[in-house]
Amino acid sequence: MTGYRSVVGWDADPVVAATPARPKLADHLTADVCVIGLGGSGLAAVGEVVRRGLSVVGVDAGRVAAGAAGRNGGFLLGGPAVAVHQAGVGWGLESALALYRETLDEISRLQELLGPEVIRRVGSIRLAGLPGEPRDEDEAADRLRESADCDEQYRMLTEHGIAVERYVGPLGSGLYLPDDAAMNPARRALGLAEIYGATARLYESSPVTRIGPGQVSTAGGSVSAGLVIVAVDGRLDVLLPELAGRVRTARLQMLATAPVAPGLLACPVYGRWGYEYAQQDSSGRVFVGGGRDRFLEQEWTIDTEPTAQVQHWIEQLAGRFVAGPVEVTHRWAASVGYTPDARPLVTEVRPGVVACGGYNGTGNLVGPIAARAAVALGIDGVRPASYFAT
Ligand SMILES: Cc1cc2nc3c(=O)[nH]c(=O)nc-3n(C[C@H](O)[C@H](O)[C@H](O)COP(=O)(O)OP(=O)(O)OC[C@H]3O[C@@H](n4cnc5c(N)ncnc54)[C@H](O)[C@@H]3O)c2cc1C
């Protein structure tokens, strides 16, 4: 049941709203590398190609960060999609820890590039359960299990020198991760596009219709390039059908509220096993998402419009995070990619075409790391680290 049109709360930010559109691709261009998708990952690939002194053309179907990269929760959380103490079981602990350290470095890199106003290193809170008293016995029992899991995560991170503290406060109890950060995701992507756009040629509103050997085509133009990087998370299996089965598209949904008392959420907060999340900006607006596991089957879709059922769920969540009523101003959704073992993909799909994606709902930091690995694979033939599926 579709109930709303996506209107993205982050886009109300004055800097985002005032950013002019980039041109459509309307020529035949030649470059060393063509990057398809200008979200956080594609822009990292563009930046890496620029750093190497090579020429690059980037194209996006919509504007910069038209997809999940401009529509997400804005959480910059260290670690893989699966908490490191659990990822360690399937991927090998060293591999999971190595990715954890890479993601923390990525936050520092982003903060250096964009400044502390865009990348706010305020930490994050992982709650056991949700704010407020449990609503029933099942919720109380689940909270106890999650509390034990927080203990296990605390033990594992402390043992391996990753900063973590116990959190007990007005929201409940859990962990505080001081090295994590928050952002308006659209600000991040537009900021990177401005930096790299001084050297790279970046085009918007140019959906790629064909990816051939050394050639990328859109309705209005084309790019000849020795290497093509496809940096698309959700709908990667639509653009590159040969990846069906290796990555599957799901929809995630969010909403934004009118301002409530500023400072209720001093940092990004996520609870109930990370399924529910909220952050508050300096004006007091709250950005809330979640519910995917409650509506699992219907959310396996390439549709990107919000639904009444999930939005209703998130709206009552918003009330729990702020302990009071909220007025919803924006509702939206976007596509992300999931992989069978939660390892992101970095893989050569066709000769000269390398794809990255499948970040399992947390690609803000892993995406750029994967995108740089995709460039290294495509240019140097360097095999991606073991925390990627190849
Ligand atoms: C509601 C929601 C909340 C989330 N919360 C978080 C969070 O708090 N923290 C976190 O780390 N992750 C979060 N994620 C996941 C995260 O947003 C994504 O993993 C990440 O943004 C992926 O970025 P990307 O650049 O790889 O891909 P995308 O953002 O998917 O970008 C791909 C780009 O490719 C373009 N494109 C697609 N097809 C074509 C084509 N044919 N031609 C040209 N261009 C094309 C799209 O327009 C898009 O701009 C969330 C996702 C959602 C949807």
Report the run of H or E that residue 126 belongs to, with start and end.
strand 124-127
Distance (angstroms) between ligand 1 centre and the Cα of 159 equals 33
Residue of 310, 364, 365 to mutate, ligand 1, most atoms within 8 A of C-beta: 364
Instruction: Measure the CA–CA gap between 110 and 40, rounded to whole angstroms.
Output: 10
Q: Hey, what are 266's tokens?
A: 């001093």
Q: Tens-digit pLDDT profile for the chain (390 aa)?
A: 457 999 999 999 999 999 999 999 999 999 999 999 999 999 999 999 999 999 999 999 999 999 999 999 999 999 988 777 776 667 888 889 999 999 999 999 999 999 999 999 999 999 999 999 999 999 999 999 999 999 999 999 999 999 999 999 999 999 999 999 999 999 999 999 999 999 999 999 999 999 988 999 999 999 999 999 999 999 999 999 999 999 999 999 999 999 999 999 999 999 999 999 999 999 999 999 999 999 999 999 999 999 999 999 999 999 999 999 999 999 999 999 999 989 999 999 999 999 999 999 999 999 999 999 999 999 999 999 999 999
Ligand 1 pocket member 208 (CB < 6 A): yes
Neighbours of 223 (CB within 10 A): 28
Q: Do 4 and 305 contact (CB within 8 A), yes or no?
A: yes
Q: Is the CB of 75 under 6 A from ligand 1?
A: yes
Residue 1's pLDDT is 46
Looking at the CA of residue 232, tell me the nearest atom of ligand 1. 32
Q: In what order do the strands lie in the sheet with 286-289?
A: 165-169, 172-177, 124-127, 269-271, 276-280, 286-289, 248-257, 328-338
Q: Which domains does the chain have, with CATH numbers?
A: 123-183+248-338 (3.30.9.10)
269 lines ligand 1 (CB under 6 A): no
**From the CB of 287, is ligand 1 less than 6 Å away?**
no
Residue type at 27 in one-letter notation:
D
List 165's β-bridge partners, or say none. 176
- Residues 284 and 279: their CA atoms lie apart, in Å, by 10
Our answer on whether the CB atom of 274 is closer than 6 Å to any ligand 1 atom is no
Q: Is 78 in the pocket of ligand 1 (CB under 6 A)?
A: no
